[in-house]
Structure 1
Amino acid sequence: MSARSHVEEIARVAMGARSRRDAPVVRSWLRCINDYRLDPAAAQEAYIVPETILKEHREQAEELIRIGRSGLERLFGHVAEQNYVLLLSDARGVTVDFMGDPTFDNQLRRAGLYLGSEWSESRAGTCAVGACIVSGEPVVIHQDDHFDTSHIGLTCTAAPIFDTLGDLTAVLDISQLRSPTAKASQHLALHLVSTTARRIELANLMARARNDWVLRLARSPDFLDVDPDCAVALDGAGRVTGMTHGGLRALSGFLGLDGPSTGTLVGQPISRFLDLEVDDLPRLMRGRPDGERVVRTRGGFALFASAIAPPASFRGVPQRRPAVPRALRELSFGDPAMDAVAQRAAKLAARDIPILIQGETGTGKEVLARAIHDSRPNPGRFVAVNCAAIPEQLVESELFGYAPGAFTGAAARGKPGLIELADGGTLFLDEIGDMPLLLQSRLLRVLAEGEVTPVGGGRAKPVRFRLVSASHRGIEAMVAAGRFREDLWYRLAAATLKLPPLRARTDFQGLVDHLLERIGRETGETPRLGPGVRMALAAHRWPGNVRELVNVLKVAAALCDDGTITLGDLPEGLAATATPPEPVGDTLALLAAAGGNVSELARRLGVDRSTVHRRLRRERGDA
């Protein structure tokens, strides 16, 4: 095809004419015209970034280059005789690793098939690397599929490489300066580059999961250890810490999930998807017959499985953090601060050590207290007392009980107090900072002597209970001000657990999904979030924390139609946050607040990942 006829064809496509081209090619041409304002008639020579810029890109991709090197050499060994060139580009389209015949160096450099070449779609137009970055899909861009006429002699085949959290991190491309005329001739090239990309993802997962189990899943045992359908990293508590991108797709198909992202699965217990607990992993290790290495999805679908223990394991048993009981494990969905609270609480749960839980109102202090109680072998009764909710004149009789005839209006038989009812179980004193000073003295005596004396009674009763207290107030400041007994403070706070506010948690999306599922169990129908709702929820400051979020979701679920929560079902203040202005100059800060996770930031902003990458490039001055 001549350059003139090529430009005319692109112009017809831009005007809406039907095309014989593959859909990915047409979509890329339209992006070049409409989004990047590129002119197909203005041929651009391939661009090689300056040496100093290339050095920065290679340093940032150093670990991936190292991990993927053996896979690249193996692939190049298969295709070198057909005069293919191999390019490994980073997520911005800059070639950070290159393999080719050195006798063609000059030609390859002029064509852009060289170290340091930039193949971003916004600069080079339609090309395999650029189209792959935008779509996240393997693609063949053959000869005049290219947008720029200076590239129409090339044939290029590329596949994406995703990191363990689901973000596109690199693109693997094999290209030829001159190629066969038929595009179908590149089917083998597409298979080879896609397979190598999957293997690099698996190697990257193995390298990053040094302290975790790796679970490989496949529909056939023949490919389980070589090219599994899915590979998932699991921590010592059995929660997903990462996976291969193919693993995400496989899980979606196996489990019937509708378009999940890796970010929504990370932090979730594997038992949510498979009939499998972390303690079952050793039986899935190599050396056992294939017939015994089978797991089932929650829907009953059978998969062959292979588990690889962390390198630090001893005789197949992982050296991991102490097992976290289910009640505590379900408090976190991947937030590091909540994970730390759960780990600490798990160590304290089996011991009779008084625990003080601190945190803002609504952060879930009673939920944590109940989880600690439920984590004990023989927990007994859980008795909760809200010291701020009982009228001051009744607190004493409620806590300590009263003898028959102790005061006017007292029951004839007397009444046991809440402390006595907690005997053998857990006493949870919520908002302990609101307890009057006089009662603080009586409580201190109970804790010191292990017995309680009812109001109006002269005979003490022995009691033994686990004490957990909580407050949103700064008790230490109250002690300094003389409003709380110092000796009681030391009795209550032998160990302290501090809950983070909801606005500081990084597992907000996982928590929302969990609460929606809980609402679904209560009502029989799990509500879905409509367009913009997730962004509106993420943008809210949540002064009432988890309690406020629960109430908002319950009300919205009751108001919504057809099981889909829309912005109109949210309180007015939340709905107003759904369309914030596009951030200018702060995407890097927002990315840091999202833990560096591009997918998480895209969910918070209500945009796709390519939009986030585009804003980041603009702020960094790369485009």
Structure 2
Amino acid sequence: MSATDHIREIEAALSCAPVARDAFVVESWRRCVEQHGLDPARPSPAYIVPETQLRAHQERAQRLTSIARSGVAELFRQVAGQNYVLMLTDAQGVTVDFFGDANFEEDLRASGLFLGADWSEAQSGTSGVGTCLATGTAVTVHQQDHFDPHHIPLSCSAAPIHDLDGSLAAVLDVSLLRSPQPKSTQALALHMVTSAARRIELANLMAGMRNNWVLRFSARPEFLEVDPEAALGIDDSGRIIAGTHHALALLAGAEGAPVLGCPVGDFFSLEVEDLPAYSRASPSEERRLFLASGRCVYAHAIAPQPATRPRPVPMPPLPAPLAALHAGDSAVAKTLRVAANLAQTDLPIWITGASGTGKERLARAIHKVRDETAPFVVLQCADFPERELDDILFGDGRGQGGLIRAAQYGVLFLDQIDELPRNIQSRLARAIGDDGIRPAHGGAPIAVRAKIISASVVPIAQSGLRPDLLYRLSGAALALPALGERSDFDGLVDRLIRRITLAMPLSYRLSEAAREALRARIWSGNIRELKNTLQVAVAMAQEGIIDLDHLPAPVVAPARTCLPTAQGDLEQMLIRSGWNVSRVARARGVDRSTLHRQMKRAGLRRP
């Protein structure tokens, strides 16, 4: 359907002509025009709220977000293989938590399936989130159901999440960037997101009612313990003080009678003294309760918990760019938490980790959290001789300003910082100190306004840098463990397979034998080597199952095995030093440029 046809269909619907759309879609179109003043002939791109505004929304929603996160993460694990994106929005329709594939961040951001996107009906027209907020019900808004033509490729299923008092507090949305299938194929997605929202409400009530009775109930006894349908919070006097949406709606009935503040005996054939009889001490099929209407439900009463010391305030969720870097390893999570706290400061950061552990990826994630519109400039310190490095960093006096000035108000990432020549170290220390960059043609010095992130394969203390530079770069140290030391290996493997196969028609998975073989390998190349291995395996597996014979042979040694004795000694020195060119050059009594030439002649390259 073209944009013109879409506009004509909206005009027809608003003039009460019959259209093949759900009634709630037509009503939403009407609100878009009559209440919000939107025009389908003037499509507008997705709106992402400013960072400071997003933080305010996240702080207000922090309690519910922290409770919902495990449930949302579990749902994402179920649907990620089908290329879905999950968003949790607050009651204003602003996305405060987000799960999506980091490889498609630009497309997701452009489409509004991203952290900070405003999906309220007034801002974005008919959408899963906006229409769910407007109606208070779970909906699927599929392709041409959207009011704004900009959102027509999307398919969005959303369900409301209510707070303890029955008010609509958030929306859980599962969306596809593109869905060529008919709307009916999203019935399962709608069911899954509705079930997840119900479970989040239950978890929220359990967390908020620890010091009160909780009465959970279900229409079927076999589901009562594992997946109850609804729950109420009841105080010591027997009054209902909280409830999930389904529970409050069930008790209110068609008349919408008040529920909160009323005695539980007004609705069930029991008093507060009877609640202990509905504990797990008796079989679930014997714990029957009858509503005033005569309807039977099965109940489970949970007694108030004894008073405990106040629980610590839950930590806010990691920003999405950082959260995408781990899959459950506690050490990595701790490192990322520090990175999140430091991202908005001007403090320098030093990242250590073996080759392939993701040092540059972490630096780029910090940059995105800080301000992804600002420059991100990379310098591989080991790739250039000293004279070239000087011009590259500080400018050559012929109109080229240098990388430091190119990174102003952004991030300058200095990889392999321990390879920086001593003379360059001295000048860099002065530049990022009080002196600034002194232009070659004279004039006032230019202050350095970039956040500097350094990286090396050795810890700060072993870097060999001049002390004056060392202390200017070592504001905070972040360490990335080698792949073999991480406890989230399986999660990383699954995430990488999802990224590699995101645009492929098949859903790929590892056989248990292949997974065990990957766990047993020594990953000297770390995550980079693992990613390459999985890319080859996916290309070899035609049926979607990656088995042992699809895995390429492990990389155990460089391809070149023989060198003349002098060159072999040179190679061993490089290996023992962690390929620190500066250190080997000093040990051999030559400058770095000479050593670079010797390495080139010998065919030696850093792994």
Question: TM-score, with normalisation over the residues of structure 1?
Answer: 0.49
Question: TM-score, with normalisation over the residues of structure 2?
Answer: 0.50
